[in-house]
A and B are shown apart, each in its own frame.
Chain A
């Protein structure tokens, strides 16, 4: 398993602003992912954070809206840009040792956009 922390744990933001969420892991991992969980819904993969290269985005998610950085094997950030109330969700990072293996999730960041 892995110990994963996220900052902030929650935030309330104004429409049109941006928020950067940090994900820190206690050991080096190959794979890091970002998910969104909208109220009452299950988890949807936003993108895979690739170390040293651009993130791989899933259908319906674009880099301009959700820029991602991964400078090393233990840290990643997700920015939610130009926010609207529809972006209100829980944002989760997860990690895995290799592709297809068990993913372990962070505690999540609860975002409310007014």
Chain B
């Protein structure tokens, strides 16, 4: 059964304190892994798509990496505006996304 597990569930960081969020997955034939940011009361905002092991993508203070079993979202020198829930999803060649339960990130000034 396809499954996505995100850790930690919640993370509190001081401004400038870099860290990583983890997304472990089990899927029969990964077609894509997706990272989204979701602010309270809003729809998920697309961040990255990763297709194959070894791939990396960057956007401002965020960097996503992919291995055959997991993905990391690295946050470098975070700011309070980076506070949000970060969601990971995978798809195995069909339209259906399997979402993790997310990591709630709080960055303190």
Contact = CB atoms under 8 A, between A and B. Distances in A.
A1 B102 CA distance: 22
A108 B38 CA distance: 11
Interface stretch (B11-19, B39-47, B60-68, B71-79): B39-47
A45 B97 contact: yes
B32 A100 contact: yes
A106 B43 contact: yes
B46 A99 contact: no
A106 B101 CA distance: 19
Interface of B is mostly: loop
A27 to B, nearest CB: 16
Contacts of A92: 43-44
Interface string B31-57: 110101000011111100100000000
B43 A105 contact: yes
B96 A45 contact: yes
A96 interface: yes
B48 to A, nearest CB: 9
Chain A contact-residue range equals 20 to 34
Nearest to A107: B43
A42 interface: yes
B87 A42 contact: yes
Interface string A68-82: 000000000000000
Nearest to A102: B49
Contact of A96 (B42, B95, B99, B101): B95
Given A45-B96, A45-B97, A100 B31 contact: yes
A101 interface: yes
Contacts of A96: 95
Contacts of A31: 95
A110 B97 CA distance: 21
Given A42-B87, A45-B96, A100-B31, A108 B101 contact: no
A34 to B, nearest CB: 12
A33 B44 contact: no
Interface of B: 31-32, 34, 36, 41-46, 49, 87, 89, 91, 93-97, 99-102
